[in-house]
Amino acid sequence: MRCHTFVLPLLLATAGLASADEVLAIKGGKILPVSGPVIEQGVIVLRNGKIEAVGKDVPIPSEAKVLDATGKVVVPGLIEVHSSRGMDQTNETNPIVPFLSVVDAIDPSQDYFEECRRQGITTAAIVPGNNTIFGGQAAIVRTSGQFLNEMLIKRDIGIKISLRPTGDRNRMGQVAAIRRELDAAREAMTERGRTSQAQPQPAPDAKGGTGSPEARNAEPADPPGGGGESAAANDDEDTQQRRPRPGGGDQPGQETNPDAALVRAALARLLKGEQLAFIYCELPMDVPQAIRLVKDYKLRGVLVLGPQCHRAVKQVAASGLPVILEPTLVLWETDPRSGEEKQIVLPKLYREAGVPVTFTVTPTQSAGGGRGGGSQPPMLGTNYLWFQAATAVKYGVPYDEALRAITLRPAEVLGIADSRGSLEPGKAADVVILSGDPLKLDTWVETTIVDGRIVYERANDRKIKALLKPEAE
């Protein structure tokens, strides 16, 4: 209790003091660059937010502020490849909203980002949740910064497509809705390409069609989009009855839908390959659909796989698409007939099939409300990125591969491997100093550095101290 009052201003001060053109050098630590071999007692120099040099006998510039990491371990900042936290709300209520961006929903003051820094996560991809059809634009952010523009690394990197049925749709309806939106967007793209060809060609008349008076009646009343229904309405004897509409409100091309143009524009970027498609598969039966969508629309797909999807591991491997696993990595399955219980270890299973994976974590309860206070301390387990990697190691995944799965691999999946994910000269100065081995239970994050600034120091972490303080008499 004694030092408590002093720590708070100090914490704020450290965040403010570190400036971008400051030169930092970390010496004496064991460096795990991920992209290369381990450097014992190496030196790493950070200048202007970038890594200037990494090595054993790197000279330390005289102007550098030196951090002594003797006996400690230096790793690249961890990267969370898929997180739906840090926003005011995980999902949008409307199902088709590819034009929305998480950037507009990110709240830098949320506990989530503080927790990230405490865990050594320096970069996170914020992707909308799975309860929509097209969920909106994802963004990559730094986990430190007071304002959004400080945090943002890259916006509009991809769109979430969920194959889990939403609302009262069934799976057929979900897939049909996805396809019709993509078709409409593609149509609009080609349409724009040949603007000169404005006049649509009338379809060749089938034989016998004009015979009935209803038919003749209906023909001129056909709007291009939902013509079938209006014709049906003409034929309906009961004029009181409203015209039936087959597809519903998520139809594109409906003049009544002001969002349609936005939807098409957003999806056009997806179809042009400018953005990733984060495709969420809840069940194994969704995996072939996802792969087919990727193939049919030439998407840059990333599979976000639910735990049960391991049954489709062969198809996943054959597709060659990057894979993000949901937080549950070890599960028990009961054979429906024999009643036998079987342990399924996903990292091992995917590894045996030759599928490199990346991990995600379980949202803790504090994820939703940053200002609510009284947030619950996170429990040990699947809500830590390093724990996921350690689980993989426990079940036989090589150490290097597991470490890569929370650093370089997510950077590759997100397309930022040229600037993040490993300790190499020229990359962003996202560095974490650990008290010991990154995948060990008793290891603490000592210092987190984002873009050359120290954003977290355990010595100044009021919350950790409060947590570890001996019970007052």
- Smallest distance, Å, CB 170 to another protein? 4
Nearer to another protein, 66 or 189 (CB): 189
Nearer to another protein, 18 or 317 (CB): 317
- Smallest distance, Å, CB 306 to another protein? 12
- Smallest distance, Å, CB 177 to another protein? 9
Q: Which of 57, 77, 10, 183 is nearest to 411 (CA)?
A: 77
Distance (Å, whole) CA 355 – CA 242: 52
- Smallest distance, Å, CB 395 to another protein? 22
Distance (Å, whole) CA 65 – CA 10: 18
Residue in this structure with the two tokens 């840059």, named with its chain if needed: 300
- Smallest distance, Å, CB 229 to another protein? 8
What contacts 158, CB < 8 A, 6 or more positions away? 127, 137, 138, 270, 275, 276, 277, 278, 300, 302
Nearer to another protein, 98 or 120 (CB): 98
Nearer to another protein, 237 or 471 (CB): 237
Are the beta carbons of 355 and 349 closer than 8 angstroms?
Answer: no
- Smallest distance, Å, CB 241 to another protein? 6
Nearer to another protein, 2 or 242 (CB): 242
- Smallest distance, Å, CB 338 to another protein? 5
Nearer to another protein, 198 or 468 (CB): 198
Nearer to another protein, 235 or 400 (CB): 235
Are the beta carbons of 127 and 98 closer than 8 angstroms?
Answer: no
Nearer to another protein, 107 or 219 (CB): 219
Residue in this structure with the two tokens 């990292």, named with its chain if needed: 347
Distance (Å, whole) CA 41 – CA 46: 16
Are the beta carbons of 428 and 142 closer than 8 angstroms?
Answer: no
- Smallest distance, Å, CB 358 to another protein? 23
365, two tokens:
């309860």
- Smallest distance, Å, CB 291 to another protein? 9
Are the beta carbons of 424 and 35 closer than 8 angstroms?
Answer: yes
Distance (Å, whole) CA 175 – CA 293: 9
- Smallest distance, Å, CB 243 to another protein? 9
Are the beta carbons of 351 and 391 closer than 8 angstroms?
Answer: no
List 158's β-bridge partners, or say none.
Answer: 138, 276
Are the beta carbons of 415 and 157 closer than 8 angstroms?
Answer: yes
Nearer to another protein, 76 or 136 (CB): 136
Nearer to another protein, 222 or 437 (CB): 222
